[in-house]
Amino acid sequence: MKTTKPGAPNEEMRRKNLGALLRYVHLNGPTSRAVLAEKLGLNRSTIMGLTAELTALGVVKEELPDDTCRAGRPSLVVSPETDRVFVLAFDVAVDRLLAARVGLGGVILDRREAVRQRKYPDLDDVVGTLAEFARQLLRNVPRDSVCVSVGASYCGMIRPADGIVRFGPNTGWVDQAFGPELERRLALGLPVRVGNEAHLGAVAENQRGAGIGFRNLIYLHGDVGVGGGIVVDGKRLDGNDGYAAEVGHMIVNPYDGRPCGCGSRGCLEAEVGEAALLSAANWPPGLTGRDAVASVVHAAERGDESARAALNRVGDWLGVGVANLINLFNPGVVVFGGMLRDVYRGSAAQVRNRIVADVLPVSRERVQLRIAALGDDTTLVGGAELGFAELLDNPVEVFRRGYRHRL
């Protein structure tokens, strides 16, 4: 395999430009050469050379635009090879396992889902199910397609360097070799990248969802617990070891708070998570999951007083958490994802009241509150983007080492 020699500035520049062009069409879809030249700040002959190389490689295609009636020679449109170039993406939540084949351009081409019993899952079971899903997904790929990487999102604290789950408060996992084990069981000869679900969700909403165009964003993801992802000046905040933004364990109610799965008391997650809402609403024990959360919101809309009171209480605590985050990070947008979409829908007035009361006036002048635009797929799409990251950094080498399924 050809590698870029250190100290070869032209090669390095070309690799960067190839990556920048591929990233642009991956995130923005079909784009004319003229627009690419303008957006990337490169001249048209450079763009022509780059698209020729990426076309020959097989990661983009060039076509005449649909609208060819205008006078003059039309600028060819460059599109990602969505059907041919893909990643395998996985999403491990407390209640469900998701696997998908996601094409370049971020299109979900095929997917599998398993709903799981809520008990502490076994590493072997989880990895075995995901590997079986992968086999099914790869069986259906078109001829000549290439899997360039594998990305997975996990509902707990991940060490990104090696994909070890350090701590999953709601799965009971401590120091489990999830990434390495998944890589071994898939046996595709590809690295498996693993990230925290809310970190990856923040990036997904920033690139493709409710946070497009924002340089500073906070994403709050409700599963059973509450995870957080923070984008600062366009970059994901990882912290020293990859464990940053555990906003669910920010202490908001230390003296009278509910016990949290992390062993502490009064964490944001303990006050606004699924269990807090269902118990405040006096919902029958045994009803859990997103449907149960949604049923509280619907009941409140129909005038059920205990559901309304529960949402008011939870919305107030959610507002306390968001207010602290706005004061700390001055985000342009706060995005609510997972089951917090329903909670926020049902308690937006409480959240906003708390922000008005507690956030410094100049910090809340322009902040927007939004619901995740990618719906149930925010964290899955985040896992896919983690998979695509290496290809976009180094298209030629990463595409060449990709897995080609023999039909």
- Residues of the shown chain interacting with Zn ion in the complex, contacts defined by CB under 5 A: 249, 260, 262, 264, 267
CB of 122 to Zn ion, least distance (A): 24
- The tokens for 70 are 């205008």
DSSP of 237-274: --TTTS----GGGSBS-TTTPPB-TTS-BSBHHHHHSH
Q: Please say which residue, 28 or 279, places its beta carbon nearer to Zn ion.
A: 279
* Token digits of residue 124: 């072997």
* Element at 5 (helix H, strand E): none
Q: Are 386 and 88 in contact (CB under 8 A)?
A: no
Asked if 130 and 383 count as a contact pair (C-beta separation under 8 A), the reply is: no
Taking the least distance from each CB to Zn ion, the nearer of 80 and 266 is 266
Give 267 or 325: the residue with its C-beta nearer to Zn ion.
Answer: 267
Task: Look up residue 50 and give its two tokens.
Answer: 């780059």
CB closer to Zn ion, 163 vs 248: 248
CB of 385 within 8 A of CB of 106? yes
Residue 190 parent element (H or E): none
Minimum distance of Zn ion from residue 262's CB (angstroms): 3
DSSP, collapsed to helix, strand or coil, labels residue 351 as: helix
Q: How far apart are CA 392 and CA 6, in angstroms?
A: 19
Are the beta carbons of 361 and 121 closer than 8 angstroms?
no
Q: Which one, 47 or 276, has the nearer CB to Zn ion?
A: 276
Min separation Cβ 76 and Zn ion, Å: 54
Specify the 3-state DSSP secondary structure of 221.
strand
Nearer to Zn ion, 260 or 372 (CB): 260
Please, what is the minimum distance in Å from the beta carbon of residue 320 to Zn ion?
A: 15
CB of 94 to Zn ion, least distance (A): 15
Nearest alpha carbon to residue 336 among 378, 295, 302:
378
Q: H helices within 364-407, ranges in order?
A: 378-393, 395-400
Cβ-based nearer residue to Zn ion, 106 or 227: 227
Shortest distance, position 260 Cβ to Zn ion, whole Å: 3
What's the min distance (Å) between Cβ of 333 and Zn ion? 25
Asked if 205 and 163 touch (Cβ cutoff 8 Å), the reply is: no
Shortest CB 243 distance to Zn ion, Å: 13
Residue (194 or 260) nearer to Zn ion, CB: 260
